Structure 1
């Protein structure tokens, strides 16, 4: 098997035999069965979609925001990102328009079908070859979606999340296609740029990644520019910088507690332009203006720690997932928006971490599952408790927000430790990447045995 992006050639090794008694062996066989995996996939998506539809919660943005954008664009009245400013990059118009193929009256059903198909593609890439660590990552992802709830399917982040998982899994098999996929995901929602930055730092072919990403971005941006989009194409940058502090953001926690205890001037209000609930109080304007510089500084520091780890001989199977998760978590922890769908961003780095490191990535995997569960408590079912706000719900929000910094601390600590190739000898290089062809006898290869 050739690992072209890592500059390695590796010989196949046999898979370890399962340990434990007959019951444990049977359970492993059931968990590894393609039928069990796909039944689990369908059940999770039907439960999330069905429960959200029955409760009429979690999919409001799809019906009340995305659908009108799609209808206006289809009529030629207003195409956001082309002849009007937009909070998203222009590429997001494609997944917003696609559900119209199912009919305007079935836009929500079309959206859920589209997301499920994208998730199915990512799931297929993940489970091909039934390598044990990939199976663990697959079941983890299903558990993550279930714990996060309707928001895991009901936002644009679900589209970019699937593409990010696919891109990361393809990265060491077909680098060009992987980087194009990650760049497309970035032009739908900006956050996958953090994964591209991590890949540039971790991989030996970093300049090729930069060139492919830049060319792909130019091609995507050229489409609206050719049709007269002008500065509307880049309006997602300026629109985000001018917004206030959203109630779910970590920085909002201080004022949310003040609002919960009725401190004067601390108030939750609805922003009619951005369609979000924000908090205001003494100092929120100053805090909001500091968040973007603080976010940029944090990203720079985390990137430098990743470079330091690279220079100290840490293999990319450690740097790529840990740095990706650190950068993505920083994007959330120091963001003044903090929408619940941002939790979707955490899935792709954890999936690739479990694929490469197995048990070595258990701690952040558990932490992210906890964050997902706490987020579903907050949104959509008990969200009204934050709007009052109730102290009990602010306490849940505070716990969830603190978890971001726990994850960030773990990843920075993991990157900071001095670890050379022999310490990552148990990391596995995947042997398969559907739909790309691999050797008939290909097996996952330990990093320590790669030449």
Structure 2
């Protein structure tokens, strides 16, 4: 009775905390014009860019000739979803649906965390971690993508089919959720999850291709991406400006990127590091021998961390993905990612200082901006290395017990080995 009462109290506390923090995020969004909150740049993404794409998509075509459109075709469905709430403006409907996705994540983490051998710590990490990004999550569709990835992982113990379908839906919106399938246990579970993911992706892609023109136009925009100022490579270039490097910051491909000598080289190095990360993850998969209920969660977080830190772009909303996956890890008591989650939360808090707080300093490559990016990306890099190391060690076979070596006595008789 006491256990049930404590669980109910914990869930009520989570619900209260969610309502309070989301009310604060909404208040910040309504005061978006304040300089420290971005001078309106956070909300502008929705009511200008997303709304523009909504108008194009409503006519049955993807933005084929728009260099800012760099997303898989599933993103079109998310951007069209505000039409489900015709009584609201596009911006209002988008925020309401984002809050609904946020609530779905919190509810799923709470339900799963309340089960035996589970923990509500993951739900607390999501409820308390997302507001560290201030109001930015409400004006980006990364919460919706994270919801698909989180639900995919949480459904894995009960249904590999559902796990595969949700992962596929997430990948069709923003690619990275396919990584959540990396840690599915070998054998039948892996075959089921991946086959259902492939089938779901094929069906949805077929439907989108039938309903919209140019569904794969986003592919031609990816090759021209440079090095975003918030990426790890961008941090190197920002410090290089203080050593006389003549590069400049320009707005292109939907973000502020560096332009100048050696930028392409840095971009190629980032791509090479992503390839190395993929190789390490593949090697881990081949050599892993021990699986716990937390291994799929831990592996998903590690994979997304590695690809995030090696990417040419690390936008502030990427932290939403990491907070969501860290929350999933902390629902399992066997997770090895607890210290990694602390680093992610710290990096998330710094990200809010970077954007929208002091983004002008980052764009101008001042010492303040450079140090902020060094701290944030240093935390992420440390988290990625530590995460992968802990996953690798946790899945290695246990060392065989050493049998003590016993020498014969003076009569040549070997005494029995103690058991």
What range describes the TM-score normalised by the shorter chain of this pair?
0.7 to 0.9
* Residue 207 (structure 1) aligns with: 191
Q: With the length of structure 1 as denominator, give the TM-score of the two structures.
A: 0.79
Kindly report structure 1 stretches of 4+ aligned residues shifted beyond 4 Å. 81-85, 201-204, 418-423
RMSD of the TM alignment (CA)?
2.8
Find the aligned partners of 1:256 and 1:352 in 2 and give their Cα distance. Answer: 34
* Residue 23 (structure 2) aligns with: 46
Report Cα offsets for 1:167-216 as digits up to 9, x if no partner. 111111122122211211111111101112333x6575111112101111
Matches within 5 A, 1:94-173: 94-103=77-86, 106-128=89-111, 130-131=114-115, 133-173=118-158
Q: Does the 8 A contact of 2:302 with 2:387 survive in 1?
A: yes
Q: CA deviation at 1:262?
A: 7.2
Comparing both chains, which one has the higher relative contact order based on Cα–Cα distances under 8 Å and sequence gaps of 6 or more?
1
Question: Highest Rg: 1 or 2?
Answer: 2
Find the aligned partners of 1:359 and 1:291 in 2 and give their Cα distance. Answer: 29
1:300 aligns with 2:279: yes
* Residue 55 (structure 1) aligns with: 32
Distance change >3 Å, CA 83–CA 392, structure 1 → 2: closer
What's the secondary structure of 2:256's corresponding residue? strand
Out of 161, 169, 173, which is 1:176 matched to? Answer: 161
Gaps of 5+ in 1: 1-14, 19-27, 424-451
Q: Does the 8 A contact of 2:125 with 2:323 survive in 1?
A: no
What's the secondary structure of 2:70's corresponding residue? coil
Out of 356, 359, 377, which is 1:383 matched to? Answer: 359
Matches within 5 A, 1:8-407: 29=6, 32-56=9-33, 57=38, 58-74=42-58, 76=59, 79-80=61-62, 86-103=69-86, 106-128=89-111, 130-131=114-115, 133-199=118-184, 204-227=188-211, 229=213, 232-259=214-241, 261=242, 263-271=244-252, 274-309=253-288, 311=289, 314-357=290-333, 360-407=336-383
Q: Which has the higher helix share?
A: 1
Distance change >3 Å, CA 228–CA 54, structure 1 → 2: closer
Q: CA deviation at 1:281?
A: 3.3
Report Cα offsets for 1:111-164 as digits up to 9, x if no partner. 111011112122222212634843211111111101122222221211101121
Task: Report how many residues are paired.
Answer: 389
Q: Does the 8 A contact of 1:315 with 1:420 survive in 2?
A: no
Gaps of 5+ in 2: 400-419
Q: With the length of structure 2 as denominator, give the TM-score of the two structures.
A: 0.85
